[in-house]
Amino acid sequence: EFSSNVTERPEELENLALQGNVALTDFAFLRSLTRLNTLNMAEMNLGGFDFNLLSSMPYLSNLNMSHSNISELSANISGKIIDLSGNVIARVVSNAFRCYDRYRYGGCEIDLSNNNITVIESDAFLDVSRVNLQNNNISIIKKDAFTEVAYVNLKNNSIRDGIHPNAFKGVTELILSNNDLSNFDFLQQLQSLRTLNLSHVPYFSRCTTSCKVFGTLRSLEILDLSNNLITELPVGIFSGLVSLKALNLRHNSISYIEYGTFASPTREPNWSPNRDAIAEVDLSYNKISELDFSLFTSGRSIGRLLLHGNEIQSIPDDIAAFGLSTLGLQNTRVTCANLVKLKLKSVSVVNDHDDNP
């Protein structure tokens, strides 16, 4: 038992760590801690915990209830940084988390990773800046589940076609890797999206000539399609991504690239291949043995091309004429003599995962 009189003035207590006290079951004392800022209740037995006990803490900013056997959430759980990871939560109800005005500066962060969540209700997260939901069992995400949430991590869930077209509002970074997605209609509503991770998504191994997943995500800058067993890139698949700066295609099975793969037919006024260049395309660890570098002049130019781990044997001396200024050639069959010639032509050659020549 924990008495509210354990301190002379419980209403002045700002930080409390109860981590690991699994025998503690009576939490009524929490009501008297009205000025609490940080509360650590990790690794406890909080099954059936009454979240209303926290309603008397208007200044509560940091709340850690990770690994505490929590199975249900109530509405209006408030805080700037909330860690509920490693519990057995099955559902995130409407209005579960709200980032109040006093927390808006710097944003609110919610960690619900490693639970057993299957459904995200409408308005579950309101004005929260970051939500981590990786390693759950989510299959359904309802309309307006994420309202003005900038960062959403849904890695390794059970999502196929259960995302409502209007599930996300204002998202700028979305991680959907390790899901067996089959319906991408919701992407067309994400006009503020800047970073999208779709690695380990089996759909893309079947995505061939009719593949038009991305449409016109005009703000998208970073796209990760690594580890998808992709064998071919349909012409035009990236054509609507007018802001694309980094494309990750590592660890696929690509052996051939068509002319026009990196074309941008949706051209803005004053369009030019250099002004709208893709800063980096990573094709490392595919099955490329030969590459016609002139294809990089058929649309948007590419500054940095990474070909680590492919079977390519030679690079033309005039590679700079194709707009390429940096190459990644580690673990390829390109000879040292060829590399020396590239250096003499002022072409930077970088190691894998290394920005320095």
Euclidean distance between the first and the last CA atom of the chain, given in angstroms as a whole number = 62
Q: What is the pLDDT of residues 100-149, one digit of tens each?
A: 766 656 689 999 999 999 999 999 998 889 999 999 999 999 999 998 89
DSSP-assigned beta bridge partners for residue 147: 126, 169
Fold for the domain defined by 199-356 = 3.80.10
Q: Is the pLDDT of residue 1 over 60?
A: no
φ, ψ of residue 287 to 5 degrees: the values are -125, 40
Is the Cβ–Cβ distance between 287 and 250 less than 8 Å? no
Q: Which of 283, 350, 345, 357 is nearest to 320 (CA)?
A: 345
Tell me what pLDDT residue 29 has.
93
Q: Is the pLDDT of residue 65 over 80?
A: yes
Lowest-confidence pick of 69-73, 239-243, 332-336? 239-243
Distance CA 318, CA 26 (A): 75
In angstroms and rounded to an integer, the radius of gyration of the C-alpha atoms of the chain is 25
Distance CA 244, CA 226 (A): 16
Q: What percent of the chain has a predicted confidence (pLDDT) above 90?
A: 68
Q: How far is CA 241 from CA 196, 228, 231, 266, in A?
A: 12, 20, 21, 9
Q: Is the pLDDT of residue 356 over 50?
A: no
DSSP-assigned beta bridge partners for residue 152: 131, 174
Question: Where do the structural domains in the chain lie, given as residue ranges?
Answer: 199-356
Distance CA 326, CA 350 (A): 7
Between 328 and 298, the more confident residue is: 328
Is the Cβ–Cβ distance between 115 and 84 less than 8 Å? yes
Q: What is the pLDDT of residues 175-197, one digit of tens each?
A: 999 999 999 999 999 999 999 99
Is the Cβ–Cβ distance between 86 and 108 less than 8 Å? no
Tell me what pLDDT residue 216 has.
80
| Conformational region of residue 106, where left means phi above 0, alpha means psi within -120 to 50, and beta covers everything else | left
What mean pLDDT comes out for the span 18-28?
A: 95
Distance CA 108, CA 105 (A): 9
Q: Is the pLDDT of residue 288 over 80?
A: yes
Distance CA 114, CA 80 (A): 20
List own/partner pairs for 315-321 with CB under 8 A and 24 or more apart: 315/342, 317/341, 317/342, 317/345, 318/345, 319/293, 319/345, 319/347, 320/345, 320/346, 320/347
φ, ψ of residue 141 to 5 degrees: the values are -125, 115
Is the Cβ–Cβ distance between 289 and 312 less than 8 Å? yes
Is the Cβ–Cβ distance between 49 and 27 less than 8 Å? yes
Q: Is the pLDDT of residue 56 over 70?
A: yes
Residues 6 or more apart from 295 whose CB is under 8 A from it? Answer: 257, 258, 259, 260, 261, 262
Lowest-confidence pick of 203-217, 234-248, 279-293? 203-217
Tell me what pLDDT residue 275 has.
60
Q: Is the pLDDT of residue 99 over 90?
A: no
Q: What percent of the chain has a predicted confidence (pLDDT) above 70?
A: 90
Q: What is the pLDDT of residues 307-332, one digit of tens each?
A: 999 999 999 988 888 888 999 999 99
Residues 6 or more apart from 105 whose CB is under 8 A from it? Answer: none
